[in-house]
Structure 1
Amino acid sequence: MLSPKQKAIWRKRLLSPTALFFLSALVTWPILSELEAFEVFYEFSRSQKSWEVDEIALLIFNLTIALGASVWYKSRALKRVLQRRELERERAEKNARHDPLTGLMNRRAFYEMIENLSNSGGTSKASLFVGLVDLDRFKPVNDVHGHSAGDVTLCTVAERLRKEMGQGGHVARLGGDEFVLVFAPTMNAADVERVARRMLSTIAQPIPFNEQSVFVGASIGLVHWDGSLGLSEMMRRADHALYQVKLSGRGSFAWYDSDADKQTLERAEIAAELKSAIRSDKITPYYQPIVKIGTTELVGFEVLARWTHPTRGNVPPFTFIPIAEDSGLIGQLGLSILRQACADAADWPEGLSISFNVSPIQFRDPALVESIRNVLQETGFKPQRLTIEITESSVIDDVLVARPKIEAFKELGIQIALDDFGTGYSSLSSLRSLPFDRIKIDRSFVTDISSNQQNQQIVSGILSLANGLALDVTAEGIETSDDLAYLQASTCSLGQGYYFEKPIPADQILWLLETEWAEHFVHASPAVKAVG
């Protein structure tokens, strides 16, 4: 127990300026520590006249308490900072690995999961199947109902996919309306197909939105995952399977087909080579004679595209023409062939014309008329010697758009023929409303016509129609003398086919006119006789 005198002494010391300074320092230590507290203390100590032992002891005691309090305060503050940083890191990690709209794994998380499975041997051939899902009719949802409806649709589809996958399966959103499925390792191919069918049915169910119903469908491409082939290759295969579904009409699923994949890869290779071939005029025009049926007088040639590839050999038109259309090269190809043909035919007798086929895709080009006019001017070929053949599918969709284009050609002096007549659905309507000069009977009705009564009736009806409309008629596909004899007995004006000559390159035209044609067909035109 301290005596009253001792208590008074300690009270005085505790209330002394020194004690009060350090007590205030204890309370404000965090602030003072930021303001270089030790320098403050040093300046204060120099202002004191003298230090007693008990004052030094009290100083040390206060310093110890202040230091402990400061350490405790700093540790608490540091802990809170670390906790905030950890929460932010976890939040950032979650956002980096999950789709913010649907909450599913995103592309990055899916790739990491697949790579981990591959590295751990979890992608053995008997254990893993992957499906690529693409929504059908999703774009109209955004266009008609707005992007809010699109978001609701994506979230609903994501939840339906997650539910159908069940335990052990995974669903990720790769972006847009594309999802990827990783089926449970316990599933076999039959299980996967059952789940895929359920998914297609579930996704097709109406999706409520603002007291309305939104409808979408889905297509699924399935692949038996082989991690040894690499992630990009397996995803390419899944995408190819999905592409096959879309080609077949959507709303179903398909497994990856290696044979179909090879064909697709070959088409891609041909498309790349085709672009270079068009630029360098490696695809050249061949010419098949067109004659008057009654006299076999040569009147012109149909221009046909031919491609002799340095390694593939002769690539048939039914292979490279569709590829040119699909890859957007058909316009360049058509103009290249026409330009070469006009340059070739400029040296032929004036009485010979050329017929050039324009594909439906090329016909829709707004600059087509101007492009052909430029080709004629460049080559000096007379428009009156050119006939443009268009198929009915070129004009059937929009006659109002086709009419001014056809009339513009006719103003240039170019003749217009309706190709493949008889194979369409509204040929009579097209003939009545558009100013054609000629129709061509499809070869399917002409070849072996002498022995096919049904084709005879069809051709007879076409000829009667053409005569009533004052149109010339070209029969293509004449293969035998019997076919020619039958047509000569009719009112058909022009013909072409292998009976007369197969398509030949430009360097054989003059030889044909001078020798073989004059020898086999006695009713040659004056122009041909002049050359001969």
Structure 2
Amino acid sequence: MQGTEGGVSKHTTSAPLVTPISVLLTLLATLVIMGITSTSWEFIVQDQLLSRFGVNFETFGSHDRWRFIYTSVIFATLSQIGPALLLFRLMRRLDRARMEVIKAREKADSLARHDPLTGLANRRILRDTLRKRLGAAGANGPHTAVLLVDIDRFRSVADLHGHSLSDLVLVEVANRLKSLLPSDAVLARLGGEEFIAVMPRPASLDALGKLAQHIINHLSSPYQLNGLDARLGATVGIAVSPDNGTDEMELMRAAEAALYRAKANPGTYRFFQPAMDRELKQTLRLQRDLHTAIANGAIVPFYQPFLRLSDNSLAGFEVLARWNHPIRGFISPDAFIPVAEEIGLIGQLTTAILRQACLDASKWPQNLKISVNLSPVQLKEVSLPDQIYRTLRTAGFPPQRLEIEITETGLVNDVTTARAILTNFRTAGIEVALDDFGTGYSSLQNLRSFPVTKLKIDKSFVRSMNTDPQSKSLVVGILAMSKSLGILTTAEGIEEAGEGVWLGSIGCDYGQGYCYAKPMRGEEVPAFLNSRAAAPAPDAGARQRA
């Protein structure tokens, strides 16, 4: 079906040159040639040519001469059988070696041009095809369409079931795509879970949109292979010539930009628009700058204190990553943390922030804890505890002073691995806090299944509880539930002293927010600690009366 233009092998497997039939034919040819030669000598050369020059040979009768011819031909032929067999064996060996070289060249050529897993074209042949088609298109066409397909949730399947089953899934994806595309399309695998199709641009873009939606629907059907029952999806970016580019690099970059925008809402397709290119370039610059920033230590920890609401005493600091970009200024963590997750830098970033936080906190009173956020992506890495412990040992920081913050999203991605990691942390004495509680997959099952020691009530509920009765009821309910389960609680986003007083009065254990302090640099923490030590102790009775 899908052709591989420009990808036909230059080496074709030839038949062996030396075979038993070829040897037999050679012997027969030898027999015939010698018969003709002997007959010519006896009856033409001797009788007609040499006799004219006075050269006469003793001749026999015709019958004897023919018997001589037969005898000499047969004898000569038999004398050649031994050398011929030896030569045959030698030629067969040489022929086998030649065949092996040809097959090796064909295999190398195939590997250079095709994906070894799916058999589809690879990036090299895809670009050759795209270049030829774009080059053949005149002012009036035929023009080209590019569909870039990303398989949603494939990484989770690979992490959970291993490479063997995930490879089977990729082969099935390739087969499904081939069955959906027109016969003149070229389908390639770019690597990982990305596929790309190059095809003639239809007269209507609506037809491309319908094809993209058909691909999404078909690839979202269940995958049942060797006991695997997986649910995946697909997201598609579309670019067309000449609107979005007239060479292969422009068109592929346009498709990538469209796919990047579509992935904001997985399971959809998007056509390229000029604004997407600017957005993609900005993202690529951010990725490049992020690499440099982590390597150079430009992303640093800031610290926001959290207090015990029962007596207003300092309990510790939450560690927050802050990046002061040399050109763009402070970049929000909401902007660069997802990028770090996407390009696989979140582990390095967490390690760098934790290491510096441990070094800073080592200079503070020993009763103060630090609370560090972990990405949901990290809760799928079984090596995560070892990475954390290694950082703690390097900094000489006791695990009992560390609190790990996770979100509910991280728990549902890979339940088994997440539970094993968190249990490992608890065994080492590290506290586990469930952050932004109430905004994600809030479930009592999560609290029962995972070793959570603290809930952090999301700031959206705390900030609206004075104006929204429903938010206030939710806060009260969360606190009551936590108390019944023996889990501590922290209210985030407290901006007024009265909010902290009221939350403490109904059983909230800790408070955090601008009411107490904004996030501060490490070098600012000692002054903050000194100011609290110099401040008079609060009047508990007055706080209760308030």
- Above 0.5 in TM-score? yes
Corresponding position: 1:305 with 2:321 = yes
SS at match of 1:355: strand
Return the match for 2:249 from 232, 255, 260. Answer: 232
SS at match of 1:425: coil
Identity %: 34
| 2:344 corresponds to | 328
Task: Indicate how the Cα distance of structure 1 residues 249 and 353 shifts in structure 2: closer, same or farther if over 3 A, else same.
Answer: closer
- 1:133–1:178 contact (8 Å) kept in structure 2: yes
Aligned pairs (5 A) from 1:282-297: 282-297=298-313
Distance in structure 2 (CA, Å) of the matches to 1:345 and 1:218: 45
Distance in structure 1 (CA, Å) of the matches to 2:435 and 2:415: 16
Distance in structure 2 (CA, Å) of the matches to 1:199 and 1:281: 44
- By how many angstroms is 1:361 displaced? 1.9
One-letter code aligned to 2:483: N
Residue by residue over 1:51-97, the C-alpha shift from the partner in whole angstroms, topping out at 9 and shown as x without a partner, is 59xxxxxxxxxxxxxxxxxxxxxxxxxxxxxxxxxxxxxxx9xx99x
- By how many angstroms is 1:313 displaced? 1.4
Residue by residue over 1:316-343, the C-alpha shift from the partner in whole angstroms, topping out at 9 and shown as x without a partner, is 1111111111111111111111110010
Corresponding position: 1:130 with 2:145 = yes
Return the match for 2:181 from 152, 161, 182. Answer: 161
Corresponding position: 1:427 with 2:443 = yes
| 1:437 corresponds to | 453
Task: Indicate how the Cα distance of structure 1 residues 183 and 370 shifts in structure 2: closer, same or farther if over 3 A, else same.
Answer: closer
- By how many angstroms is 1:409 displaced? 2.5
Return the match for 2:237 from 215, 221, 239. Answer: 221
Distance in structure 1 (CA, Å) of the matches to 2:398 and 2:220: 59
- By how many angstroms is 1:50 displaced? 6.0
How large is the Cα RMSD of the aligned pairs? 4.9
Distance in structure 1 (CA, Å) of the matches to 2:317 and 2:294: 22
Residue by residue over 1:392-421, the C-alpha shift from the partner in whole angstroms, topping out at 9 and shown as x without a partner, is 333345555444433432333322222222
Distance in structure 2 (CA, Å) of the matches to 1:157 and 1:189: 19
| 1:375 corresponds to | 391
Distance in structure 2 (CA, Å) of the matches to 1:248 and 1:322: 15
Residue by residue over 1:342-361, the C-alpha shift from the partner in whole angstroms, topping out at 9 and shown as x without a partner, is 10011112232211122222
Residue by residue over 1:154-195, the C-alpha shift from the partner in whole angstroms, topping out at 9 and shown as x without a partner, is 6886576336xxxxxx4223358946344358x254565467
SS at match of 1:173: strand
| 2:492 corresponds to | 476
Task: Indicate how the Cα distance of structure 1 residues 455 and 271 shifts in structure 2: closer, same or farther if over 3 A, else same.
Answer: same
Deviates more, 1:364-373 or 1:240-249: 240-249
- 1:225–1:234 contact (8 Å) kept in structure 2: yes
Distance in structure 2 (CA, Å) of the matches to 1:109 and 1:412: 53
Corresponding position: 1:248 with 2:286 = no
Return the match for 2:426 from 388, 410, 426. Answer: 410
| 1:502 corresponds to | 518
- By how many angstroms is 1:488 displaced? 3.4
Deviates more, 1:312-321 or 1:104-113: 104-113
Task: Indicate how the Cα distance of structure 1 residues 119 and 439 shifts in structure 2: closer, same or farther if over 3 A, else same.
Answer: closer
Distance in structure 2 (CA, Å) of the matches to 1:294 and 1:218: 51
| 1:389 corresponds to | 405
Distance in structure 2 (CA, Å) of the matches to 1:201 and 1:301: 47
Distance in structure 2 (CA, Å) of the matches to 1:154 and 1:400: 30
Q: Which has the greater radius of gyration?
A: 1
Return the match for 2:476 from 460, 463, 468. Answer: 460
Distance in structure 2 (CA, Å) of the matches to 1:110 and 1:400: 40
- 1:242–1:254 contact (8 Å) kept in structure 2: yes
Deviates more, 1:467-476 or 1:316-325: 467-476
| 2:332 corresponds to | 316
Residue by residue over 1:475-512, the C-alpha shift from the partner in whole angstroms, topping out at 9 and shown as x without a partner, is 11101233223223321121000111110000101112
- 1:291–1:299 contact (8 Å) kept in structure 2: yes
One-letter code aligned to 1:130: A
- 2:323–2:330 contact (8 Å) kept in structure 1: yes
| 1:66 corresponds to | none
Distance in structure 2 (CA, Å) of the matches to 1:267 and 1:257: 16
Corresponding position: 1:172 with 2:189 = no
Distance in structure 1 (CA, Å) of the matches to 2:296 and 2:511: 33
- 1:449–1:483 contact (8 Å) kept in structure 2: no
- 1:448–1:483 contact (8 Å) kept in structure 2: no
- By how many angstroms is 1:433 displaced? 3.7
Distance in structure 2 (CA, Å) of the matches to 1:394 and 1:156: 31
Return the match for 1:364 from 380, 399, 402. Answer: 380
Q: Which runs of 5+ in 1 are unaligned?
A: 1-26, 33-42, 53-91, 164-169, 207-214, 526-532
- By how many angstroms is 1:368 displaced? 2.3
Residue by residue over 1:86-112, the C-alpha shift from the partner in whole angstroms, topping out at 9 and shown as x without a partner, is xxxxxx9xx99x999x99999888756
Task: Indicate how the Cα distance of structure 1 residues 255 and 292 shifts in structure 2: closer, same or farther if over 3 A, else same.
Answer: same
Equivalent pairs counted in the alignment come to: 432
Task: Indicate how the Cα distance of structure 1 residues 122 and 218 shifts in structure 2: closer, same or farther if over 3 A, else same.
Answer: farther
Task: Indicate how the Cα distance of structure 1 residues 129 and 220 shifts in structure 2: closer, same or farther if over 3 A, else same.
Answer: farther
**TM-score (normalizing by structure 2):** 0.64
Residue by residue over 1:270-295, the C-alpha shift from the partner in whole angstroms, topping out at 9 and shown as x without a partner, is 22322232222221110001112233
Corresponding position: 1:352 with 2:368 = yes
Distance in structure 2 (CA, Å) of the matches to 1:202 and 1:363: 31
- 1:439–1:471 contact (8 Å) kept in structure 2: yes
One-letter code aligned to 1:300: G
Distance in structure 2 (CA, Å) of the matches to 1:497 and 1:240: 39
| 1:67 corresponds to | none
SS at match of 2:364: coil
Distance in structure 2 (CA, Å) of the matches to 1:204 and 1:353: 46
Task: Indicate how the Cα distance of structure 1 residues 259 and 496 shifts in structure 2: closer, same or farther if over 3 A, else same.
Answer: same
- By how many angstroms is 1:457 displaced? 1.0
